Amino acid sequence: MGFHITGDPAADKVLDESSFALLAAMMLDQQFPMERAFAGPAKVLERFGSIDPADIAAADPEEFAALCATPPAVHRFPGSMAARLQELAALVTEEYGGRTERLWEEATTGRELLRRVQALPGFGKQKAQIFVALLAKQLGVRPDGWETAAGSYSEDGCYRSVADVVDVVSLEKVRSFKKEQKAAARS
């Protein structure tokens, strides 16, 4: 299954082809439109020439921050997110030998997978649950107890998060849900 999150087939292809790109996109998905966050790794690949975690971790921080800030920026907060992206890349390189997929392939339970994801820079409990649901729904990653680890983001037919986006229609449903949540929070 190919991703259909960004509205740009080339950017979605980067997510399909790189586990680290998918993880980085999820990390970037905060205080920024979802589609643009998930297109961020494609911008990094285009500008930096690599989406390999070891290459990103080893990059000069100032130069990497500058390429992330080049318009259109990789994120609304390009400097801090460039640093966080390098921190994430360093952790994947050190803990998982640069093979991002080991994060979920070696997790034997949903609880362990959730713990591993929550230990990543930029991943709190809610984001980790969404990522576990995304892995299950989009990639078929379902260690024992994944439903509990995914919390309310598991398969319930609702369109709440990026984990539920499989096409343009589901993307619009997720956008509508997010708008409703923001409106409810303001009231």
* 2 within domain boundaries: no
141 φ, ψ (degrees, to nearest 5): -80, 110
Residue 41 within a domain: yes
What would the pLDDT profile of 18-36 be if each residue is shown by its tens digit? 999 999 999 999 988 889 9
Q: What is the pTM of this model?
A: 0.90
d(C-alpha 50, C-alpha 173), whole Å: 33
* Highest averaged pLDDT of the listed ranges 93-97, 128-132, 135-139, 168-172: 93-97
At residue 137, the pLDDT reads 83
Q: Is residue 25 part of a domain?
A: yes
In this structure, are residues 20 and 53 in contact, taking their beta carbons and an 8 Å threshold?
Answer: yes
Residue 3: which of 173, 178, 168, 172 has the closest Cα?
A: 168
Q: Is residue 118 part of a domain?
A: yes
Number of domains in the chain: 1
In a domain, 3, yes or no: no
pLDDT at 72 over 90: yes
Domain membership of residue 95 (yes or no) is yes
Residue 161 vs residue 86, higher pLDDT: 86
Place of tokens 């087939």: 9
**Residue 165 structural domain:** 9-186
Residue 112 maps to which CATH number? 1.10.340.30
Distances, alpha carbon 115 to alpha carbons 48, 129, 137, in Å: 31, 10, 19
Segment 81-129, tens digit of pLDDT: 999 999 999 999 999 999 999 999 999 998 999 999 999 999 999 899 8
Does 1 map to a domain?
no
* Assigned domain for 86 exists: yes
